[in-house]
Structure 1
Amino acid sequence: MVRVALQGVRFFAFHGFYPEERVLGNHFIVDVDVEFLQQHHFTNDEIAHTVNYEQLYIIVAKHMKQPRKLLETVVQAIIDELKTTYPFVETIRVGLKKLSPPLPGIVEHSFIEITYHKPDDV
């Protein structure tokens, strides 16, 4: 298995259930990793034989720019686009942290993570 990941990717975005969250915005951190079976030897030095982490960043950034009420919706949209872009990927894991969520106490971050496993019959 090959694993390609980006961790600790920071964004300022406008996700949140409450209207004021979608106006004021907040800081977020995204972790994304994908796993796939190696189909080619990497001695040929071709990016087409792997997952381009620059493309991972572009996909994540695109969805972080689209305000959503639920963090789960953001994460699912990222996963869905990664599945389409890289159909050979076996596992996709995306975690999204909202720093200092608007709660009555001191909370470092809230966290949502979704893991996708490609079905065996695909």
Structure 2
Amino acid sequence: MKSKIILEDIKIYAFHGVLPEEALIGNNYIINAELHADLEKASKSDNLDDTVNYAEVNEIIHQEMVIRSELLEHVIGRIINKIENQFPQITFIKIKLTKTVPPMPGEMKGVSVEFEKEINS
């Protein structure tokens, strides 16, 4: 059975970016996370210990977003590493991080960076 946990459109205000004003002003970010794991046992047991606790995943994302980085790639790398270390049952992680108002000319919904990682269990 293929199973996924998806956290959608987590909105966080943070201070990432290369430009000095980004460290002062900050920006709105949207994070999406997709995690694959075998959750069949949880579907039968109704026990939180048999699944990936998505509240804890959400907490990891919030903790890592507080730590300022110049690059979104660096933020995503930290999020993936921490999730992978805390939840060894995960076999695949996809994180998409969007800066909603990048300091660039032109109207847009934002700029996103997305990483996908297959994890050998």
Using structure 1 for the length normalisation, give the TM-score: 0.93
Which structure 1 segments of 5+ residues have no match? none
Query: Following the alignment from structure 2 to structure 1, what is the Cα–Cα distance between the partners of residues 10 and 67?
Result: 16
Query: Following the alignment from structure 2 to structure 1, what is the Cα–Cα distance between the partners of residues 80 and 96?
Result: 11
Query: Following the alignment from structure 2 to structure 1, what is the Cα–Cα distance between the partners of residues 89 and 65?
Result: 24
Partner secondary structure for residue 114 of structure 1: strand
- Are the equivalent residues in 1 in contact too, given 2:34–2:95 (CA < 8 A)? yes
* Code of the aligned partner of 2:112: F
Query: Following the alignment from structure 2 to structure 1, what is the Cα–Cα distance between the partners of residues 24 and 104?
Result: 17
Query: Following the alignment from structure 2 to structure 1, what is the Cα–Cα distance between the partners of residues 42 and 69?
Result: 40
Task: Name the counterpart of 2:119.
Answer: 118
Task: Name the counterpart of 1:48.
Answer: 49
Q: 4+ residue stretches of structure 1 with deviation over 4 A?
A: none
Query: Following the alignment from structure 1 to structure 2, what is the Cα–Cα distance between the partners of residues 67 and 106?
Result: 25
- Are the equivalent residues in 1 in contact too, given 2:3–2:38 (CA < 8 A)? yes
Shift of 1:59: 0.3
Cα RMSD (Å): 1.2
Task: Name the counterpart of 1:23.
Answer: 24
Using structure 2 for the length normalisation, give the TM-score: 0.94
- The within-5 A match list for 1:96-107 is 96-107=97-108
Matched, 1:86 2:87: yes
Partner secondary structure for residue 105 of structure 2: coil
Query: Following the alignment from structure 2 to structure 1, what is the Cα–Cα distance between the partners of residues 17 and 23?
Result: 6
- Are the equivalent residues in 2 in contact too, given 1:95–1:113 (CA < 8 A)? yes
Shift of 1:41: 4.9
State how many pairs are aligned. 120
- Are the equivalent residues in 1 in contact too, given 2:42–2:48 (CA < 8 A)? no
Task: Name the counterpart of 2:36.
Answer: 35
* Code of the aligned partner of 2:45: N
Query: Following the alignment from structure 1 to structure 2, what is the Cα–Cα distance between the partners of residues 2 and 89?
Result: 10
- Are the equivalent residues in 2 in contact too, given 1:101–1:108 (CA < 8 A)? no
